[in-house]
Amino acid sequence: VIHVALYTVEHRTLNQLLDTLKQDSYLAPPKDITLWLEISPKKQQKGGFKLCSFGVASQPLFNLENSHQTNQICAKQTYYEKTGTVEQLGGDPIQVTQNIPHDGQTQAQHLTMEVKCLVWVRVLMNLVYQFIDKEIESRGAPPFKIPQFHFVDAALAVEHSGRQRVFLLEEVIRGPHSLEGPFKKYMNNVSAEPLQQSDVDDEEHGLFLAFSQHVQYFKTKKMVFVSDYQVVSCMLYISF
């Protein structure tokens, strides 16, 4: 059981971001909630630089579109690797590597940067759909279905006492009647071409995300675009 102060990551428009460029916080006022997380190493999943634990909150945290309200959450922390030697009973010593979450202060620094990036990439994706809506208004609807993507909702959680751990909480991506689908990588950092897919729908999703990069690059006057899309296919949500 972990008692935390929860700071939901707010949604912003581009104008709001530009008007408040000097402000460091993109977080809503805190509220107290309780978390139950599976934080044992055997239950955690590991990414390139974050550990992932699943669990539940004492109340629903996010207003999810196209989905039912749920208390389920995904909690992430940055980590470092620690290698040590373990003596085997009657055998040679072996090296064991542990994944250790950073302390609260370091965690806050890392995850606050994640929050800033999340706020900005949401805005970049909104620019794409605003561009599409404007084109549909002047040219009419296209003869195909436009994929609907959005970045996951998230919040920053700070433990009230004890080790004062810090977590980045994200919605668990689920359909109304299905479990979370597999992650698919559609774009690579080193190429503007979508990665080849085995499914026709996935090919179309990759082309759309490549198109979105061009729109973002154009609308920001060649300043920025989202370079590495990873998508949960069942709901067309983008994981950050």
pLDDT at 57 over 90: yes
Q: What is the pLDDT of residue 89?
A: 67
Whose tokens are 């542990």? That residue is 98
Tell me if 6 sits within 8 A of 73, measured CB to CB.
no
Query: How does strand 154-159 pair with strand 150-151?
Result: unpaired
229: in domain: no
Q: What is the CATH number of the domain that holds 117?
A: 3.30.200.20
State the pLDDT confidence band at 235, using cuts at 50, 70 and 90. very low
Q: Which domain holds residue 114?
A: 2-82+95-176
| Tens of pLDDT, residues 141-198 | 999 899 988 888 899 999 998 889 999 999 887 544 334 456 678 777 777 788 888 8
209: in domain: no
Instruction: In whole angstroms, give the CA distance from residue 110 to residue 104.
Output: 10
Closest CA to 35 of 208, 156, 135: 156
The model's pTM: 0.83
160: in domain: yes
Q: What is the pLDDT of residue 175?
A: 47
44: in domain: yes
208: in domain: no
pLDDT at 6 over 50: yes
Q: How many domains are there within the chain?
A: 1
155: in domain: yes
Output phi, psi for 221, to 5 deg.
55, 50
pLDDT at 86 over 90: no
87: in domain: no
129: in domain: yes
Query: How does strand 183-185 pair with strand 230-232?
Result: antiparallel
Beta bridge partners of residue 57, listed in sequence order:
35
Question: What is the distance in angstroms between the CA of the first residue and the CA of the last residue of the chain?
Answer: 26
